[in-house]
Amino acid sequence: MTTDYALKVTDLVVNYGIVPAVKSISFSVARGKITTIIGSNGSGKSTTMKALTGLLPSQSAGIELFGKNIRHTETDVLVKQGLVLVPEGRRLFKSMTVTENLQMGAFQRSDKVAIARDFEQTLEYFPALREKLNVRAASLSGGQQQMVAVARALMAGPKLLLLDEPTIGLAPAIVDTIAEIIQSIAKAGVEILLVEQNAEIALEISHYAYILERGEVAMHGLATELANSAEIQRAYLGI
């Protein structure tokens, strides 16, 4: 089935017990266009990512990945279908080396030749990691750890990559590097849904943006338009 959307989410609801965290949000990721969900602390960004990837139970009127209904699909099956999450906080295997972390990303695959090829291709995005391949993840800088987290996700062979706050806690120069890498990955044909507190960088590299506030979509529109909106500038861009 062909569709213009990599992802289409309709009326997603996620509760923690009786506490609502995501209150019936709808959004989509158009193919070939980086899409972002921007929100401050506790607005429901990670909850949304976990629900999409089957890590949290949710209700919805529909979640479609490339036109196919994926409600109630388990996480490992979703990974095989190309939906891969780079989780908040990286969640690396800290005592393992960079190479081992990347290999873990491909653990569901058995095509050794393709895995070796993807390992090489992945490192082309991250030249800084080449000299760190045998270094344990724990001893890398924050920026390098984030690179490993993205690289590990690429090793799963994603069609749609979900990135949960990849720039948090990083120095501005590294934020720019990560942003450039995300753009290169998108150019290579991987669909991107970027979740960020850093509205400035998210709006800069995205085509379309959703603003999440207290579990609801408060605004959405073209990233260029939101970046020029007085309300967004005041609330999220510190202008």
Ligand X SMILES: Nc1ncnc2c1ncn2[C@@H]1O[C@H](COP(=O)(O)OP(=O)(O)OP(=O)(O)O)[C@@H](O)[C@H]1O
- Could you tell me the sign of the dihedral formed by the alpha carbons of 70, 71, 77, 80, in that order? positive
Residue 16 contact partner, candidates Mg ion, ligand X, none, CB within 5 to 8 A by sort of partner: ligand X
- List binders of ligand X among 78-137 (CB under 6 A): 88
Note whether 122 binds Mg ion by CB under 5 A. Answer: no
Question: Cα–Cα distances in Å, from 151 out to 51, 71, 73, 138, 157?
Answer: 22, 27, 24, 16, 10
**Residue among 4, 11, 16, 114 that touches ligand X (CB under 6 A):** 16
Strand partners, 97: 136
Strand partners, 69: 64
Note whether 47 binds ligand X by CB under 6 A. Answer: yes
Q: Which stretch binds ligand X (CB under 6 A): 43-51, 73-81, 126-134, 140-148?
A: 43-51
Position of tokens 């401050």?
40
Q: Which stretch binds ligand X (CB under 6 A): 41-49, 91-99, 129-137, 219-227?
A: 41-49
Q: How many residues bind ligand X (CB under 6 A)?
A: 13
Q: Which stretch binds ligand X (CB under 6 A): 13-21, 95-103, 124-132, 140-148?
A: 13-21
Residue with smaller CB distance to ligand X, 106 or 182? 182
Structural contact between residues 160 and 84, judged by C-beta atoms closer than 8 angstroms: yes
Note whether 177 binds Mg ion by CB under 5 A. Answer: no
Q: Which stretch binds Mg ion (CB under 5 A): 5-13, 45-53, 105-113, 225-233?
A: 45-53
What's the Rg (C-alpha) of the chain? Answer: 17
Residue with smaller CB distance to ligand X, 106 or 179? 179
**Residue among 46, 60, 122, 144 that touches Mg ion (CB under 5 A):** 46
Q: Which residue is nearest to Mg ion (CB)?
A: 46
Which residues are near ligand X by CB under 6 A?
A: 16, 19, 21, 39, 41-47, 88, 197
